[in-house]
Structure 1
Amino acid sequence: MRSEARLGWLLVAPAVGVIALIAIFPLGWTVWESLHMHELRMPWLGKPFVGLDNYAEIAGDPRFWAALGHTAFFTVTSITLELVIGLFLALAMNRVFRGRGFVRAAILVPWAIPTVVAALLWRFMFESEGGIANAVLVDAKILSEPIVWFIETGTAWVPVILADVWKTTPFVALLLLAGLQNIDLSLYEAAAVDGANGWWQLRHITIPLLKPAILVTLIFRTLDGFRVFDLIYVLTGGGPGTSTEPVALYTFNALLQNLRFGYGSALSVVIFAITFGLAMLYVKGLGVRLGGEER
C-alpha cells in the first residue's frame, strides 16, 4: 500500500509542481507584495514593509466600494440574463430537428469573437446619435428621439450588459446543453404518462438535475464577471467619470497608471478572496458536488 501511495505521489508530482509554479507562487508573491508600500513614482522611498496598511486603505476608499458595487451589479445582471437565455437556447438545441448541428455551430459564433472586437462592434452601434441602435429604437417607437448612450450612468450600462450577454450566452448554453444530455429521457416519458405538462417537467426534473451544470456555469461566469476588464475598458473606459468602473479596471489604474504596486496587489488579493468566497457559497447553496451528486 505504501509503495502504491508513493507511486501515486510520484505520478502527480509534475502536475502539482506546475500548479504550484503557475498558480500558488504568483498568488503568494502578490500577497507578499501587498504587505509593502511599493510606489514606482517615488522610488527613493524603497519598499518598506507596512503590514495591513494597504488593506486598511482599501477599506476606507470610497472609490473601491463604488467599483465593487459596479462589479456586483454587472455580474448579477449579466449572469441572470445569460442563465435564462442560455437555458432557453440549450433546451432548443437539445431537441432533435433537421440542421441541429448547423444551429449549434451558429449559436457559438458570438462566443468565438474576441472580446475587444465584440466591444468595438457594440460601441459602434451605440456611440453616436446616428448609430444603429438609435435608428432601430426610434423606428420601433421605443425612443421618441435619439440619445447619447455613454454620457449618462443609466444608459451607459445598457450596451455594456448587452454586449456581455450577447457574447457569453452561447458559452452558458453550451454548458447547460452538456448537462441536459446527461438527463435520462425516460424520466420525461414517465412524467408525461402521469399527466405532467412541460412546465412541471422543467421545474421538477430539468432544473433539479441541471444543478451541477448550473453550479459550474455560476462559478465560471462569476469569476469572469468579477475580473471583467477589456469589455468595459473598450466600451466606456469606466465612464462617465467612474460610474461604470469595475474593480479590475480600478486595480489596473492603481497598478499601471498610478504605479502603486503594493496597493494594487492588495486589490488583487481582495478580488481573489471575494471570487473564491462566492465559489464556496455556490457549492454550499446549491448543495451539489462538481461530480453531480447531491449533498
Structure 2
Amino acid sequence: MSRISTGSRWQIVWLLLPVLVTLFAVAGWPLFRTIWFSFTDASLANLDHYTFVGLENYLVRYQDQWFGLLTDSVWWNAVYNTLFFTVVSVAMETVLGVAIALTLHKTFPGRGWVRAAVLIPWAIPTIVSARMWSWMLHDQFGVINDLLILCGSISEPLAWTADPDLSMWAVILVDVWKTTPFMALLTLAALQMLPKELFEAAKVDGVSTIKTFWKVTLPLIAPGVMVAVVFRALDALRVFDLIYVLTANSTATMSMSVFARQQLVAFQLVGYGSAASTMLFMVIALCTVIFLYAGRHRFYQRF
C-alpha cells in the first residue's frame, strides 16, 4: 500500500478545513453553549447575567432531599415515552417497509406509478402531515371517527389526540404512515442489488417462497435494513414536531425534545432546559455507539 506524502496530507487537511469549520459553527458551538448553560441558572430573563451552579440542574441534595433533572418524574416519563415511541414505531415501520419493498420489487403493470405514490407521505413536510392528521383525528369533525362509526367499529367519537390512553398510539399511527416509505425505499434499494441467480436456483430446487425469504432474501438485505433501522431510530429519539403539533405539551406523549422545549420556552428555564437537551444528546450518542457496535459485529445475523 502506497503511503500518502506530506504534501498530500496537507492538501487533504486544507480541503477538509472549511467543512470542519462550518460543522463546528452550525453544530459544535451551539452544542457547547447548551452544555455550558446546563451548569448555570440562566433563564430568558437573565440570559446575560447567570451564575455557575455546577450539577444543580441535574442532581442536588437540599435538606435531606434530592432535586434536579434526574429526580424529575416528568422527565423520566418523557424518557419512557420517547423510548416506547421509538421501539414501537420503528418496529412497525420496519415490518411494513420490508413488506412494501417486497411488493414493489415484483413486476406488475403501473409499478412506477405505485412507487411514486408510496413516497408521497414521506415527501410531505412533517408539520403539514401532523396538522392534516390532527384534523382527521379530531373528535368532533374528524373523518377517522366518521368512518369508524359508519363501519360500526365504534359507537361514539373518540378523542384520539386528547385521551391519554389513545394519544400515543395516534402519534405512532401518524409516524408510521409518514416514515414507512423511507424504510421501504432503503429496503427496495437493497433488494435490487441482489443477484437474480440465487432466486432462480431456489425456485429450481423447489424451495418455497416463505423459506426463500427467510433463508436467502432476509439475510442478504439485513445490512441495508439495519442501516434504515439505525437512521430511523436516531431520528425517532429526537422526535418533536409531530408530537408537539398533535398533542402539544401533554404528559401522555411528551418526548424528551418536547420536555426540553417546555423548560426552555414555556418556563424560560434556560439552565434546566439545557440540562434536558444535554441528557437527550447523551442518550442519542449512547444509542449511536450501541448501533455502530452492533452493526460492526453484525449481531443481527445471530438471530
TM-score (norm 2): 0.87
> Unmatched 5+ residue regions in structure 1?
none
**Is 1:273–2:277 an aligned residue pair?**
no
Task: Provide Cα deviations, 1:192-221, integer angstroms capped at 9, x if missing partner.
Answer: 233322222222222222232222212221
Amino acid at match of 1:190: A
Matched residue, 1:10: 14
> What is the distance in 2 between the residues matched to 1:195 and 1:287?
35
Task: Answer whether contact 1:218 1:282 (CA < 8 A) is retained.
Answer: no
Q: How does 1:100-115 map to 2 (within 5 A)?
A: 100-115=111-126
Which secondary structure state, in structure 1, belongs to the residue aligned with residue 235 of structure 2? Answer: helix
Residue of structure 2 aligned with 1:229, choices 240, 247, 257: 240
Structure 1 residue 83 displacement after superposition: 0.7
Q: How does 1:1-295 map to 2 (within 5 A)?
A: 1-41=5-45, 43=46, 46-56=49-59, 57-239=68-250, 242-287=251-296
- How many residues of Structure 1 are paired with residues of Structure 2 in the alignment? 288
Task: Answer whether contact 2:168 2:252 (CA < 8 A) is retained.
Answer: no
Task: Provide Cα deviations, 1:169-202, integer angstroms capped at 9, x if missing partner.
Answer: 1111111111212222222222223332222222
Structure 1 residue 21 displacement after superposition: 2.1
> Unmatched 5+ residue regions in structure 2?
60-67
Query: Which piece of structure 1 moves more, 148-157 or 69-78?
Result: 148-157
> What is the distance in 2 between the residues matched to 1:17 and 1:163?
38
> What is the distance in 1 between the residues matched to 2:281 and 2:127?
24
Task: Answer whether contact 1:86 1:169 (CA < 8 A) is retained.
Answer: yes
Query: Which piece of structure 1 moves more, 7-16 or 242-251?
Result: 7-16
> What is the distance in 1 between the residues matched to 2:81 and 2:7?
54
Amino acid at match of 2:97: G
> What is the distance in 1 between the residues matched to 2:176 and 2:148?
19
Instruction: Go from structure 1 to structure 2 and tell me whether the alpha carbon gap of 1:49 and 1:110 turns closer, same or farther (over 3 Å shift).
Output: same
Instruction: Go from structure 1 to structure 2 and tell me whether the alpha carbon gap of 1:26 and 1:151 turns closer, same or farther (over 3 Å shift).
Output: closer
Instruction: Go from structure 1 to structure 2 and tell me whether the alpha carbon gap of 1:258 and 1:91 turns closer, same or farther (over 3 Å shift).
Output: same
Instruction: Go from structure 1 to structure 2 and tell me whether the alpha carbon gap of 1:258 and 1:179 turns closer, same or farther (over 3 Å shift).
Output: same
Task: Answer whether contact 1:238 1:246 (CA < 8 A) is retained.
Answer: no
Query: Which piece of structure 1 moves more, 176-185 or 245-254?
Result: 176-185
Which secondary structure state, in structure 1, belongs to the residue aligned with residue 155 of structure 2? Answer: coil
Matched residue, 2:65: none
> What is the distance in 2 between the residues matched to 1:44 and 1:227?
25
Task: Answer whether contact 2:134 2:161 (CA < 8 A) is retained.
Answer: no
